[in-house]
Structure 1
Amino acid sequence: MMLPAALLLLGALTAVVAPRLLARADWADREPVLALWVWQCAVAAVLLCCALSMTLSAALAWQVVRGQVFAPAPHAVMEAYGLGTTGPWAAPTAVALACGGVWTAAMLMREVVRTRARRRLRCAELLVRAPLLPGEESGSRLVVLEGERSDAWWLPGGTAPRLVVTTAALRRLKGRQLDALVAHEEGHTHARHDWLLHCSAALAGGFPQVPVFAAFRHEMHRLVELAADDMASRRFGRLTTALALVELNEDRGVFGPVPTPHAHLPKRVHRLLTPPDRLTAARRLRLTAAAALVPVVPLLVAFGPGLRALG
């Protein structure tokens, strides 16, 4: 029973320490894509610790599970895991972790259902506000809506994701600013940022008391926007992208003294106008490799006794 407990302790330690370490990192805003990768590795490590602990606890508690998990393993491996000495906490731990896995799957399914419902509703609203003309194809990637408020958003899903732009936004965005806006929204789609947002929302909604999941959701909303800003600025320039953000959101009072729900926009504009120095390629490579090793640690802990027995 020591190994499942060690995996749970490792998962809890990662869930508490990882958000604090990433909050202190001074490079996240400079390398948002790398920060997204690090966050995903940290969350994957926590989930992997729970899954491995559940599997080993179930193998300790029930012979039928043990036969499935360790069927091809030699006797020395089974002795290394102490399968013959079942502890009193093996079955309750396995059941509790299995319930947590079922709850996680249910939260993910709920997020998928809600997302599809919202998408169907928005598509229906678009069809009412911008009905198809005779001979017009329904798979158009650009939809222009009549509106007095500058707005634009990418509608993911389906075989042909669509960019929705209001006529007010078309009047305000000049020249390459519209191209920068399109590149920003395309960056979200190509990087599948919507899936990151859905997964982070499901985990945080299902386990609000887990620090790493709550911080994961909070950071995803910020980092995906920074990453999309960088994608647009690499193609059309930082000044053009910053001006596009200002023109699109100026009427919302975002840049005033009173905080608004879009208070992060001034920081994004400032970041585009005064770009921070990027990390060196060597440091980016080191951070990428170090983050990839985080989910490997639970695997080494779980398979360590078996590998030592085989060795």
Structure 2
Amino acid sequence: MLLPLALLALGGLAAAVGPRLLARAEWPDREPVLALWVWQCVVAAVLLCCALAMVLSAAAAWEAVRGHVFAPAPSGVVEAYALQGYGPWAGAVAAVLAGGGAWTAAMLTHEVRTARAQRKRQRRELLVRSPRLPGEVEAGDRLVVLEGERPGAWWMPGTAPRLVITTAALRRLNRRQLDAVLAHERGHARARHDWLLYCSSALAKGFPQVPVFAGFRGEMHRLVELAADDVASRQFGRLTIALALIQLNGDRGVFGPCPTPHAELPRRVDRLLAATPRLTPARRLRLTAAAAFVPVVPLLVTLVPALGVLR
């Protein structure tokens, strides 16, 4: 039973240390795409530790599972894992972890279905406010202009994605700022940020007592916006997208002294105007490789007994 416990302890260590190191680091705001990658690797390592502990515990508890898990393994590998010594708790541990996995899948399914239902409702409302012209066919990446007094622009993902902008936004933005806003929204679409938000929200709602999942959701919402800002700024400049954000949100009290639901916007504008240089390519490569190694550690720990037999 030592190996599943070691994996669970390793997962707990990754869940505790990873977010703290990221919170203390100075580079995530400079490299949001890299920060997204690191967060995903940390969460993947935590989930992988739980999954491997579940598989080993189930293999120890039930002969049928053991036959499937170790079917391709050479003789002597099963003995190296000493599954008979796991004791009566193996089945209970496997059942609890399997229940956690099923709950995670159920929460992700719920998030996706809820988002799809919301999109369908928004599309129906959009069709009422902006009906298609006679002969107009359903097309992807369609720009829809809505009559509205409040400036706004947003992306509606789906099989036929929509880029929606209000007439108030068109009146406030000049041509270059408008193109920057559209590039920002298309950056979300190309990177499939919606799926990152679904997964992080499912984990945070499914396991609200686990801080790493709550931190994962909060950082995903923040970092995807920074990443999309960078997509737009590389095409049109930091000043252009910063001014566009101010034009779109200036009358919402976002930049006043009192906190608002959009309190992250002033920090996004400050970041764009500061124009802090990116990390060097060598440092980005080191961080990427280090993050990629984090989910590999549970696999190596799990394979240690087998490698000892095969060497």
Same fold (TM over 0.5): yes
Equivalent residue, structure 1, for 2:149:
148
Which deviates more from structure 2 when the two are superposed, residues 38-47 or residues 248-257?
Answer: 248-257
Backbone CA RMSD of aligned residues = 0.9
CA drift at 1:269: 0.7
1:176 equivalent in alignment to 2:173: no
Q: Give the partner amino acid of 2:289.
A: A
Distance 2:84 2:247 in 1: 69
Could you tell me which runs of 5 or more consecutive residues in structure 2 were left unpaired when the two chains were aligned: none
1:57 aligns with 2:57: yes
- 1:212 Cα deviation (Å)? 1.0
In 1, Cα distance between the equivalents of 2:108 and 2:118?
15
Q: Tell me the distance in 1 between the aligned counterparts of 2:86 and 2:165.
A: 62
| Structure 1, 114-123 or 269-278: larger mean CA deviation | 269-278
Aligned positions of 1:199-218 closer than 5 A: 199-218=199-218
Show CA shifts across 1:133-187 (max 9, x none).
21222326100000111011000011x3110000000000112000000000000
Give secondary structure in 1 for the equivalent of 2:67: helix
Letter in 2 for 1:71: A
Aligned residue number for residue 71 of structure 2: 71
Instruction: Tell me, yes or no, if structure 1 residue 6 matches structure 2 residue 19.
Output: no
Post-superposition shift, 1:290?
Answer: 0.1
1:35-46 matched pairs, under 5 angstroms: 35-46=35-46
Quote the residue 2:139 is aligned against. Answer: 139
- For 2:244 and 2:282, the matched residues in 1 are separated by 33
- In the alignment, what sits opposite 1:122? 122
1:172-251 equivalences under 5 Å are 172-251=172-251
Q: Which amino acid aligns with 2:4?
A: P
Correspondence for 1:15? 15
In 1, Cα distance between equivalents of 2:86 and 2:204: 34
Residue range with higher mean Cα deviation, 231-240 or 127-136: 127-136
Report which stretch shifted further, 229-238 or 127-136: 127-136
Deviation, 1:275, is 1.2
Counterpart amino acid of residue 146 in structure 1:
E
Which deviations, in whole Å up to 9, do the C-alpha atoms of 1:73-101 show, x marking residues without a partner? 22311111002324121010000000001
Residue identity opposite 1:92 in structure 2: A
TM-score after normalising by structure 2 = 0.98
Task: Give the Cα separation in 2 of the matches to 1:176 and 1:253.
Answer: 24
Q: Is 2:111 the partner of 1:111?
A: yes
* Deviation of the 1:72 alpha carbon: 2.3
Alignment partner of 2:84: what SS?
coil
**Deviations along 1:247-292, whole A, 9 cap, x unmatched?**
1111111111121100111111111111112111100000000000
- What SS is found at the alignment partner of 1:53? helix
Secondary structure, aligned partner of 1:143: strand
Structure 1: how far apart are the matches of 2:72 and 2:242? Answer: 59
Cα distance in 1 for residues equivalent to 2:73 and 2:85: 17
Mapped partners of 1:192, 1:209: distance in 2: 27
CA shift for structure 1 position 18: 0.9
Q: Which ranges of 4 or more aligned residues in structure 1 deviate by more than 6 Å?
A: none
Q: Which amino acid aligns with 1:212?
A: V
Deviation track 1:10-46 (CA, whole Å, cap 9, x = no partner) reads 1111111111111001100010000000000000000
The aligned counterpart of 1:83 is 83
Separation in 2 of the partners of 1:138 and 1:74? 56
Query: Matched residues in 1 for 2:260 and 2:278: separation?
Result: 30
Please report how far the alpha carbon of residue 297 of structure 1 lies from its aligned counterpart in structure 2 after TM superposition: 0.1
Rounded to whole Å, the distance in 1 between the matches of 2:65 and 2:138 is 51
The one-letter code of the counterpart of 1:54 is: M
Q: How many residues are matched?
A: 310
Q: Aligned to 1:85, what secondary structure does the other structure show?
A: helix
One-letter identity of the residue aligned with 2:133: L
Aligned-partner Cα distance in 2 for 1:27–1:154: 28
How far apart, in 2, do the equivalents of 1:150 and 1:106 lie? 37
* Cα distance between partner residues in 1 of 2:132 and 2:71: 60
1:282 alignment partner in structure 2: 282
Instruction: Return the alpha-carbon distance in structure 2 between the equivalents of residues 198 and 172 of structure 1.
Output: 32
Distance 2:267 2:49 in 1: 36
